[in-house]
Amino acid sequence: MSQPVDRLGRGVRDLRISLTDRCNFRCRYCMPVEVFGPGYRFLPREDLLSFEEIVRLTRLLVPLGVEKVRLTGGEPLLRRGIEDLVAMLSSIDGVKDLAITTNGVLLAHHAEALALAGLSRVTVSLDAMDPEIFARMNGVGAKVERVLAGINAAQTYGLKVKVNAVIQRGVNEGEVLPLARWAKAQGVDLRYIEYMDVGETNGWKLAEVVPATELLEILSTEFDLAPRDAAYRGEVAAHWRHRDGAGEIGVIASVTRPFCRDCQRLRLSADGKFFTCLFAADGHDIRGLLRGGAGDEVLKAAVHGLWSVRDDRYSEERGLVPHPKAEMSYLGG
């Protein structure tokens, strides 16, 4: 079977797998506590794909073009036995890069086992260095020191680390330079993310977006940066290197500089639905086929057909047409 190409000429290269819709943070831009409070009904355990089902799908997707696999959530480190899944995925021929995105609070506990299991790298969400701002943004009073300890542990055990920071006007734009200073000193690559309209519950307003141009103006007051070319088609961040060679800084400008035309990401929700866009409203059920006894060729044909008719470009169409969206805590970032 040939590798599928969608209607905009995009192949499928990256697979993002959500392991759970649960999280131990309540960040307002993702899971505001007013919605995701004590009474919120998360996915029942029996609806979640098993590790064996995840591995089977991943193995079938590699011949269709998938090279990079990232485990997300919710918070993926809440999924019991995640190190076993990493070991299973890392043994698949053709998976060239295996990563996890995490809020980092549990990372110090898991870092060694993840590294031994074959994880390539980890991306940690860190929106502020200031303890009070960080505690307020995560919604549960979590301490920034625990995230920093997790990052240190990951580096100690040889995992490559990137840090993502969502910057929201009126909330943490004052943290742009402190984050950059810390990342440069630690030798960690840092990426700023424009505040996005993910899901339907975060009360997103365009006025709260700090655009990439402004972020770079702030950074240029202190750092000497040089742009670098994209490393591959579909690299979502534009990058700048420190001219003294001490790491690099990226900006993901999904709002002001959409990159839909190069997006090669397929997302798998924790309950077994494929989404062809982060901003999609609905997914395409694959769990039913899996548990209904479908053979490998049937499953591959389903994915091939789904991708071949894909024409998603939400960020380019933002504001032009009404477009309901699945929650990022369910789908994964």
Which residues are part of a known binding site? 16, 23, 27, 29-30, 70, 74, 101, 125, 162, 196, 260, 263, 265-267, 277
Q: CB count, 10 Å around CB of 233?
A: 12
Dihedral sign for Cα 131, 34, 101, 223, please: negative
The closest of 183, 202, 201 to 192, measured between CA atoms, is 183
Give CA–CA dist 318/302, Å, rounded: 29
Under the phi-then-psi rule, with left for phi > 0, alpha for psi from -120 to 50, and beta for the rest, what region is 227?
beta
Which residues sit in the known binding site for S-adenosyl-L-methionine? 29, 74, 125, 196
Residue 249, amino acid: I
Which residues sit in the known binding site for GTP? 16, 70, 101, 162, 265-267
Which structure tokens are listed for 58?
């991943």
How big is the CA angle at 13 (ends 277 and 198), to the nearest 5 degrees? 25
The closest of 212, 257, 220, 217 to 242, measured between CA atoms, is 220
The closest of 140, 142, 146 to 109, measured between CA atoms, is 146
Which residues sit in the known binding site for [4Fe-4S] cluster? 23, 27, 30, 260, 263, 277
